[in-house]
Structure 1
Amino acid sequence: MVKLTEKQRRFADEYIRLGEIAQAAVNAGYSTKTARVIGKETLTKPYVKAYIDKRLDELKKESIAEQDEVLQYLTSVMRGEQTEQTLRGVGEGAQEIDEIEVDATRRIRAAELLGKRYGIWTEKQQVEIKTPTFKEDVPEDDD
């Protein structure tokens, strides 16, 4: 794989951040007069495109919670391992932020969501279906 120059890497990072070719090129150190042309040309290079795609995948993974992370968080809430912030009056209209335990309602909700995920709360019903047969519909010679 071809290595990016420092300017190309800065351009790619700025392009990811801004989504705008000319400004990304200027921020990366290219001339204002040629920024748009150089930026478009740089984006056509396969190794620059590959770098941008790779960085976007990394950023996506960092910003979106995976299934395990969500389940771990819900479990920690249910077990009372999480706290939340609340305001407490300290007199004369002043307030301070306090850390308090997550209340029972939120812990129960976390348990419900985990239960749904694992199918604990599904109601099972036994249904028996009988299909009627009509002897009148069958011709006599088909016995």
Structure 2
Amino acid sequence: MSTLNDRQRAFADYYIESLNAEQSAIRAGYSEKYARGNAHKLVANSCIKNYIEERMKEIESDRIAKAEEVLAFLSASLRGEVLEEVVSTESIEGMIKPVILKKQLSAKDRIKAAELLGKRYALFTEKVDLEGNVGVTIIDDIGTLEDA
């Protein structure tokens, strides 16, 4: 598989940003005339297409939180290590000024974090009593070939 030249790589990067092939080609240094008629060919080029797919996977994986990250955040929230920003006001010389304060999460939020962690580790089980007599009824409504 051949590698991309600088202009093709620039086109692919601009295309990832805008998803507009013609404008991406122009920004990458292709002439307007070429871009107008042939930008779709650049997107269809197998090397460029593979590069775009690889970059999109990298971008996607960077954006999505992994399970370990979620569990670490819930644990930090439960322990009171996460601070939230709250807007408050303070009065200075008769004027009210907004102030941003950092405070620990509320007990309600910490309990919710504990609940979610407990669900993850199956710490809570619900007791379910099932009783009853389930009878089996067989219905023979399938006829024979002679009935058809």
Specify if TM > 0.5: yes
Q: Kindly state the Cα deviation for residue 87 of structure 1 after the two structures are TM-superposed.
A: 1.4
1:108 aligns with: 111
- For normalisation by structure 2, the TM-score amounts to 0.82
| Distance (Å, rounded) in 2 between the aligned partners of 1:26 and 1:11 | 8
Identity %: 38
SS at match of 2:30: coil
RMSD over equivalenced CA pairs, Å:
1.7
| Distance (Å, rounded) in 1 between the aligned partners of 2:51 and 2:108 | 46
Structure 1's 132 and 5: CA in aligned 2 closer, same or farther, altered over 3 A?
A: closer
SS at match of 1:77: helix
- For normalisation by structure 1, the TM-score amounts to 0.84
| Distance (Å, rounded) in 2 between the aligned partners of 1:65 and 1:101 | 23
1:1-143 paired onto structure 2 within 5 Å: 1-91=1-91, 92-131=95-134
| Distance (Å, rounded) in 1 between the aligned partners of 2:24 and 2:34 | 12
Q: What are structure 1's unaligned runs of at least 5 residues? A: 134-143
Q: Kindly state the Cα deviation for residue 19 of structure 1 after the two structures are TM-superposed.
A: 0.8
Q: Kindly state the Cα deviation for residue 131 of structure 1 after the two structures are TM-superposed.
A: 4.5
- Where do 4+ consecutive residues of structure 1 move more than 4 Å? none
| Distance (Å, rounded) in 1 between the aligned partners of 2:54 and 2:131 | 54
Give the counterpart letter for 1:32 in structure 2.
E
CA contact (8 A) 1:25 1:38 kept: no
- Please give the per-residue CA displacement for 1:12-45, whole angstroms capped at 9, x wherever unaligned: 0111110111111111111122213332111122
SS at match of 1:33: helix
SS at match of 1:93: strand
Q: Kindly state the Cα deviation for residue 128 of structure 1 after the two structures are TM-superposed.
A: 4.1
Structure 1's 34 and 79: CA in aligned 2 closer, same or farther, altered over 3 A?
A: same
Q: Size of the alignment, in residue pairs?
A: 133
